[in-house]
Amino acid sequence: MSIGETITRKRKALGMTQKELAEKLSVSFQAVSKWETDASHPDVELLTALAEVLGTTVDALVGYRSPILADYEERYQTSEYYWGIEPNRLCYDILRLRPPVKPYKVLDIGCGEGKDAVFLARNGYRVSAIDIAENGLEKGRILAERCSTRVDFFKADISDYRLTEKYDIILSSGVFHFLRPDIREEVTDNLKKYTNDGGLHALNVFVSKPYLKRSGEKKGNRYEWKSGELFTYYHDWHMHRIDEELFDCNSGGIPHQHCMDIMVAEKKVK
């Protein structure tokens, strides 16, 4: 899709006229009209404001898909569920430690096709779930509908999405290795700050091991963590579970192993 087509689609979805969009950006409506027919393109300095007004990102406007996004979108293309529909064990930790005696607010970060988010919603939690892959989110919505439950699925990138409202439980499985090392502390601080007292974080992360092949390397924007690193960010929380697990994987058709640090931590009541 061209940039002009994207602008038109997003503008119309917001019920905005060309004139209204032009006013918000302090440009003429003829300029907007030219962008939309691809007769000209918005200036680079305008792109951030344009993306913001249209409720999207500059990447989406210019049609850029990161290799990670392309990879997951491809995996989620079929009607089958790439990760299956069985919930992760972390969901059972959540059920055990915070049974849904009230509708606890949960955020699933990097929810994929939504199996964990839907499982928790079916069990009475009030669940929101984010991912960068729109087709994964759409499959999550379908799964939720099939299970007669509701999850608020929305597109967001953990690298630049910051919480502004509080949750009781944060779940993330198989995602934190997409966080660059230089922003890990800031991201975890934000997640911790926007968790209610007594709330839980149920997380896992791939860690490097010297005996595992290609361990520790940066693999196409995947950044393994150091063993134990995740736990250090939670030194001031109560640990319910700290594990390190080695497991077999066959993704890409080549048998190999991964190591994961797994943690369930509780924010202490002040």
In the complex, the residues that contact ligand SAM under the rule CB under 6 A are 68, 72, 83, 88, 110-112, 115, 130-133, 136, 157-159, 173-175, 178
Output 45 or 160, the one with its CB closest to ligand SAM: 160
Toward ligand SAM, which CB reaches closer, 111 or 143?
111
What is the DSSP annotation of the chain? --HHHHHHHHHHHTT--HHHHHHHHTS-HHHHHHHHTTSS---HHHHHHHHHHTTS-HHHHHT---HHHHHHHHHT-SSS-TT-SSPPHHHHHHHHHS--SS--EEEEET-TTSHHHHHHHHTT-EEEEEES-HHHHHHHHHHHHHTT--EEEEE--TTT----S-EEEEEE-S-GGGS-GGGHHHHHHHHHHTEEEEEEEEEEEEE--TTSTTTT-EETTEEPBPTTHHHHTTTTSEEEEEEEEEEEE-GGGS-EEEEEEEEEEEPPP-
Nearer to ligand SAM, 132 or 143 (CB): 132
Closest residue to ligand SAM, Cβ-based? 112
**Smallest gap, in angstroms, from Cβ of residue 156 to ligand SAM?**
6
Cβ nearer to ligand SAM, comparing 178 with 231:
178
Closest contact distance (angstroms) between CB of 159 and ligand SAM is 5
* Smallest gap from residue 55 Cβ to ligand SAM (A): 17
CB of 6 to ligand SAM, least distance (A): 21
Task: Provide the minimum distance between the beta carbon of 48 and ligand SAM in the complex, in angstroms, as a whole number.
Answer: 19
Closer Cβ to ligand SAM, 18 or 204, answer by number: 204
